[in-house]
Amino acid sequence: MPHPKKLKEDAILEALCELRLQAPPNIPEEVVIGRLIDCGPWKDWQLKRLPNSDIPYAIRQAEEGLRYQPTVELRKDGGDRLVKVGPSSFSYHFVGNYPGWDVVKRELDEAVEALFLRISGLTVKRLGLRYVNGMDSERHRVNSVADLDLSVCVGGETVESSLNLNFARVSSDVHTVMTRVASKEFVKGQLGGSVSTVIDVDVFTPSSFESSDQNQIKGWVEQAHDFEKDAFFALLSDEHVDYLREQ
């Protein structure tokens, strides 16, 4: 069954694309950040320094957990878009009301073009496209993980209530799809009152990946979105998809 182009009730809480970057070694950290801030539509958004900006650069580079963390955030008025920037990272976030893939793809393409325009010799070392979905008992008829097309057995007994499950599939040479399914009690942060289950789909490149080709990066994102949809709809029965499909 073909996937719906749009659901009558979106479940997307946040969609984001992350790029891990390598600028030429002759460009200092502060210059990289300055150039990434001062380009694209986000250059006029509200700027906020993040806590990682207070950690010395040498320490951040030495610690794997800190190396790719952003140091600056820019948020659009209204809060439905934000950009996070670090000396080795850039991410573009769609929060709240999801504008549809056509808009998302156009804005991500424009962001990629802006990055390469501002930093000559830029290399992308990792790409990630992630969708976090909140399945709602009222709008999506998902009262618990038991309503998904998913079965987990332990000792011959099916787990039907609280669940936190992660699994990965390699979908192409440059796309790995990590799917996380969790009951709301395992999820930190604010969720809507009737959200029962979170489906988090993260598509990313292997550790060997690198590219300085804008068209390759844009094509990767397009394919990643297809794999993301495959992973999401694999968790729903055909009858459930028919109910959610926008007529």
Dump pLDDT digits (tens) for 144-177.
898 999 989 888 888 877 899 999 999 999 999 9
- pTM for the complete prediction? 0.94
pLDDT value for 59:
85
Number of H helices, E strands in the chain: 6, 11
pLDDT value for 8:
85
Q: Which of residues 62 and 139 earns the better pLDDT score?
A: 139
Integer-rounded Cα radius of gyration of the chain:
19
* C-alpha distances in Å from residue 136, one per residue of 12, 60, 89, 129, 243: 11, 39, 33, 23, 14
Residue 182: pLDDT band (50, 70, 90) is very high
pLDDT value for 61:
79
CA 204 to CA 64: how far, in whole Å? 18
Residue 1: pLDDT band (50, 70, 90) is low
Per-residue pLDDT reduced to its tens digit, 52-72: 888 887 888 778 778 889 999
Put residue 11 in one of left, alpha, beta given phi > 0 → left and psi -120 to 50 → alpha.
alpha
Strands 195-204 vs 72-75: parallel, antiparallel or unpaired: unpaired
pLDDT value for 128:
98
End-to-end distance of the chain based on CA atoms, in angstroms? 15
Mean per-residue pLDDT over the chain, rounded = 92
pLDDT value for 7:
84
Which whole number is the average pLDDT over 187-208? Answer: 88
* C-alpha distances in Å from residue 176, one per residue of 38, 135, 144, 182: 32, 23, 27, 20
pLDDT value for 158:
85
